[in-house]
């Protein structure tokens, strides 16, 4: 259905894509979860014969009319909000589902509510400082812009100017990524683009796997836009905890492959921070 795109704007260069796909091929799921369990992270477990304490479930989308609620089954959620026919409207720009095994900040308390264009991104880390990251990132980009303006007026050769500009951009990217880590703003997302005729089937697979703790921390799908071309592909996002954690990014990709969401001959998919 999907393939890893050579045009991905994060893991998109040939060397990194090859390394990521090699990581996927050699990925050991059992060892991954053993390692994560050693650090106190949520680990899928088979039910044992003996009774164990019930897990505490979490839903950062609690009360959101466009999201799965812990009080309803996934079947009921899918029947209530099928993306193929559910129309986009005020208060329902996306359809969401969370991974109930992983605690994240409530969307009602999230800083992204106050940032235009980021209101509907993945649920934040409990320690996220999104507004600090936004302020610091904007300041660093202003510094880069001022330097680029100065360099263009410096009278240096085109080759030297290009070299310096590339270095300045790389330094800015490094600084912003380090700031993201410091402020716990590290969510990433896989993006799939199913055709309208397939969006219900794709979303059902994603939703069920997310609720079972088999994919990422959350997922969302675009509802039908009555003003858009009905033939336009839909967008499905699968969120991961940390875009720097390539093992986890690869784990989610491997799960998508096992679920039939990704094939070597299918449509492109992309990964990016966000």
pLDDT digits (tens, 9 = 90+) for 195-249: 999 999 999 999 999 999 999 999 999 999 999 998 999 999 999 999 999 999 9
Is the same domain home to 92 and 199?
A: yes
Parts of the chain with a pLDDT under 70? 1-54, 154-157
Is the same domain home to 246 and 158?
A: no
Average pLDDT score, the chain: 84
Please give the pLDDT value at position 116: 80
Domain that holds residue 165: 130-182
C-alpha 66/C-alpha 222 separation (Å) is 11
Please give the pLDDT value at position 147: 87
Is the same domain home to 195 and 145?
A: no
Is the same domain home to 109 and 231?
A: yes
Please give the pLDDT value at position 30: 58
**Among residues 126, 145, 144, 153, which one has the least CA distance to residue 217?**
126
* Residue 202 maps to a domain: yes
* Residue 48 maps to a domain: no
Please give the pLDDT value at position 8: 46
Query: What stretches of the chain show up as alpha helix (H) in DSSP?
Result: 14-25, 29-38, 74-80, 130-152, 158-182, 199-211, 246-258
* Residue 90 maps to a domain: yes
Is the same domain home to 233 and 253?
A: yes
Is the same domain home to 5 and 84?
A: yes
Is the same domain home to 18 and 149?
A: no
Is the same domain home to 97 and 10?
A: yes
Is the same domain home to 10 and 73?
A: yes
Residue 169 phi, psi (nearest 5): -65, -45
């Amino acid at each position: 259905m999907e393939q890893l795109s050579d045009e991905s704007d994060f893991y998109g260069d040939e060397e990194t894509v090859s390394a990521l796909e090699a990581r996927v091929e050699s990925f050991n799921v059992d060892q991954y979860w053993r390692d994560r369990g050693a650090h106190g992270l949520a680990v899928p477990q088979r039910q044992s014969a003996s009774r164990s304490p019930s897990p505490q479930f979490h839903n950062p989308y609690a009360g959101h009319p466009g999201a799965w609620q812990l009080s309803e089954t996934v079947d009921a959620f899918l029947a209530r909000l099928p993306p193929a026919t559910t129309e986009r409207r005020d208060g329902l720009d996306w359809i969401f589902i969370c991974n109930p095994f992983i605690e994240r900040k409530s969307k009602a308390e999230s800083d992204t509510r106050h940032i235009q264009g980021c209101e509907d991104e993945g649920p934040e880390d409990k320690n996220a400082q999104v507004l600090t990251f936004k302020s610091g990132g904007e300041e660093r980009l202003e510094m880069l812009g001022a330097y680029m303006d100065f360099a263009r007026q410096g009278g240096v050769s085109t080759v030297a100017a290009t070299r310096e500009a590339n270095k300045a951009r790389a330094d800015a990217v490094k600084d912003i990524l380090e700031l993201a880590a410091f402020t716990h703003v590290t969510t990433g997302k896989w993006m799939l683009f199913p055709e309208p005729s397939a969006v219900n089937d794709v979303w059902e697979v994603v939703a069920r796997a997310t609720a079972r703790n088999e994919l990422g921390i959350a997922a969302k799908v675009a509802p039908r836009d009555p003003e858009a071309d009905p033939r336009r592909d839909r967008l499905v996002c699968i969120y991961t905890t940390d875009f720097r954690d390539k093992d986890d990014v690869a784990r989610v990709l491997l799960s998508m492959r096992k679920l039939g969401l990704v094939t070597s001959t299918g449509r492109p998919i992309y990964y990016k921070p966000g």
